[in-house]
Amino acid sequence: MQRKKILAAGVSAVALSAGGWATILITSASASGATKSLALIQGTKADDFYISMGCGAQAEAKKLGYSMNVQGPTDFSAPEQIPIVNAITAQHPAAVLIAPTDTQALIAPMQAMKSAGIKVVQVDTSVTNTSIAVSSVTSNNLLGGEKAAQSLAGLIGNKGTVVVMNEQPGVSTTDARVKGFIQEMKSSYKNIKVLSTQYVGDSPTKAAQTIDSLLVANPGLNGVFATNVLVAEGVDTGLNNAGKKGKVKIVGYDADPEQIHDLKAGIVQSLIAQEPYLEGVDGVEQAVNSLTGKPVTKSIQTPLVSITLANLSKETKYVYQSKC
C-alpha cells in the first residue's frame, strides 16, 4: 500500500508495548529529508529478552540512519497491547515491528494497522493470520521444545515424572515450545510421565506457588521445563525454598543474567537460549527493506542453543542483556 500523504513530512513514532512480540514502528523519511524515526514496542519491559531485542533494534536503526524509541508494558497482555496498537495505527507510522501477545486477539488491530497503509513486521511471536505481516522473525520454538525434552530426559536418566510450566495458552512461541517438548517426550522417552501443563502467567510468584503445590501432590517429581524467563525464575525460587535445589532438575527457556546465576549455582541445569539481539537487528532490517523497495524475507528463524555449565563459556553471545 502507498504511504498516506499526511506522512510526507515524516512522523515521529511512539513505541508502547504490551508483551509477546516486540513491536517496532518505523516512519520513513520523506523526499524532503525529514528525520526518520523508529519505535520498538517490547513484549514486557521487565524481560531481559525484550531488553536485548531493543538493544539490537537500536543498534541496527542507528546503523541505517533511523532513530529508535523503545518502550514496553509492565505485563504481557493482549488487553494492554491492543489499545497501544490502535493508538499507534492512528499515528500512521510507515512500518511497525510488532510482537503480538495473542495469536487471535491481535489479528483485528493488526489488520487495521495494515489497512491504514502501515507495513507490519512480527518479531518473536505471531498471529495465525499470515497475510498481515511482510516478515516474521523468530527462533524455531518447536525445535526449542524438543531440545528441552532431550536435555531434561538426560538429566533425569530417561525415566521419571516431569511437568511443563507455561505462561498462558494462545502465545505462538510458548505454545510451540510446549508442543515440541511433549511430542519429543512421547516419541522418544516412554519411561517419562508428563503431567498436565501448568499455566502461571508471567508471574514468578505464581510459578513459585504452583511448583510448591505440585511438589505436595507429586513428591516424586523429577523435572520441570519452564517455558520463559519469568516462569523459570519462579520455578527456581520455589524449588530453592522447598529445599529441592538440584534434586528436581530444571530446564529453563531463555538466558537472562539471573538464570545464568542460577545455572552456575546449580538451581537450573540447562537453558534453551535464543538470540533476541539478532531478532531486533533482523526485524529492523526487514522493516526498512519493506519501506525502501529492497527484497524482504517472509520468514526468518534465528539460532538457539542449549546452554549448560560445560559450554557456557563458549556461548556467551546468547546471554541476554539487562541494559544496552
Return d(Cα 62, Cα 86) in angstroms, integer.
27
Is the pLDDT confidence value at 26 over 60? no
Whole-number pLDDT of residue 170: 87
Q: Tens of pLDDT along 103-144?
A: 999 999 999 989 989 889 999 999 999 999 999 999 999 999
Return d(Cα 135, Cα 216) in angstroms, integer.
46
Q: Where along the chain do its domains lie?
A: 5-139+275-302, 141-253
Is the pLDDT confidence value at 178 over 90? yes
Average pLDDT, the chain: 85
Return d(Cα 224, Cα 267) in angstroms, integer.
12
Q: Which helix (H) or strand (E) holds 213?
A: helix 204-217
Mean pLDDT of 171-176: 90
243 Rama class: left (phi>0) / alpha (psi -120 to 50) / beta:
left
Which pLDDT band holds residue 279 (cuts at 50, 70, 90)?
very high
Class of domain 5-139+275-302: alpha beta
What does the angle CA 23 – CA 28 – CA 33 come to, to the nearest 5 degrees? 150
> Residues 317, 319, 322, 324: what is their CA dihedral angle, to the nearest 10 degrees?
10
Q: Tens of pLDDT along 186-238?
A: 999 999 999 999 999 878 899 999 999 999 999 999 999 999 878 888 898 89
User: C-alpha cell of 225?
Assistant: 521445563
Whole-number pLDDT of residue 149: 98
Is-same-fold flag (5-139+275-302; 141-253)? yes
Neighbouring C-alpha atoms within 13 Å toward the C-beta of 184: 22
What CATH number matches the domain at 141-253, 3.40.50.2300, 3.90.1300.10, 3.90.1150.10, 1.10.10.10? 3.40.50.2300
- Please indicate, yes or no, whether the overall pTM of this predicted structure exceeds 0.85: no
SS3 letters for 166-187? Answer: ECCCCCHHHHHHHHHHHHHHHH
Is the pLDDT confidence value at 270 over 80? yes
Q: 190 CB contacts (<8 Å, ≥6 apart)?
A: none
Whole-number pLDDT of residue 17: 36
